[in-house]
């Protein structure tokens, strides 16, 4: 201390230590704010594990049954088979009640839909209606899924054995 009893910093004209520290802190805060940082707040850290819930849609959110089944069908490649299964199940709505009363869609293999007629007359009639049926089915499930419709006649019982068997040529039907 000098002889007049004042501290050396004051006699040299220096600022007090507390004021120097406060100014330094204010400068550091201003520099941090300019960089987009906010001094005194906890830094935001990315969570170590991914967030499993929140206001936004995520991979773990529940899905509707339609979405789940659609994803399963697409993954397995069953979309076409299911579409044709819908045609077989909704045969009366697609072809109309009159035609559906006399025919049944039976199988679908290799883009060929097999339709069984209830009589030989209806089998002949359905053969003439094949272009119309193909266009109705294409508009319902998509073009090119069913490429051919095969019409088969009624399924008659076989009388080759049993109590109704006949020697010779046997019972005849007008079908093929």
pLDDT digits (tens, 9 = 90+) for 13-59: 777 778 888 888 888 888 888 887 776 677 666 666 665 666 777 77
pLDDT of 6 > 80? The answer is no
What local confidence, expressed as pLDDT, does residue 116 receive? 92
Give the DSSP letter string of the chain. Answer: --TTS--HHHHHTPPPHHHHHHHHHHHHHHHHHHTT--TTSPPP---SS----SSS--TTS---HHHHHHHHHHHHT-HHHHHHHHHHHTHHHHH-HHHHTTEEEEEEETTEEEEEESSHHHHHHHHHHHHHHHHHHHHHH-TTS--EEEEE---PPP-SSSTT--STT----S--
pLDDT of 8 > 60? The answer is yes
pLDDT digits (tens, 9 = 90+) for 120-145: 899 999 999 999 988 988 888 778 77
């Amino acid at each position: 201390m000098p002889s007049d009893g004042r501290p050396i910093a004051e006699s040299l004209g220096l600022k007090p230590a507390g004021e120097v520290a406060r100014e330094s802190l204010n400068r550091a805060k201003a520099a941090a704010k300019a960089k987009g940082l906010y001094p005194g707040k906890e830094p935001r850290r990315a969570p170590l594990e991914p967030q499993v819930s929140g206001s936004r849609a995520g991979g773990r959110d529940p899905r509707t049954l339609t979405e789940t089944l659609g994803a399963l069908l697409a993954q397995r490649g069953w979309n076409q088979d299911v579409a044709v299964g819908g045609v077989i199940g909704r045969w009366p709505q697609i072809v109309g009640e009159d035609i559906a009363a006399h025919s049944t869609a039976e199988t679908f293999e290799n883009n060929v839909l097999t339709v069984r007629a209830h009589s030989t007359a209806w089998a002949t009639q359905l053969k003439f209606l094949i272009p119309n049926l193909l266009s109705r089915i294409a508009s319902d499930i998509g073009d090119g899924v069913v490429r051919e419709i095969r019409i088969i006649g009624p399924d008659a019982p076989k009388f080759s054995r049993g109590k109704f068997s006949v020697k010779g040529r046997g019972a005849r039907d007008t079908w093929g």
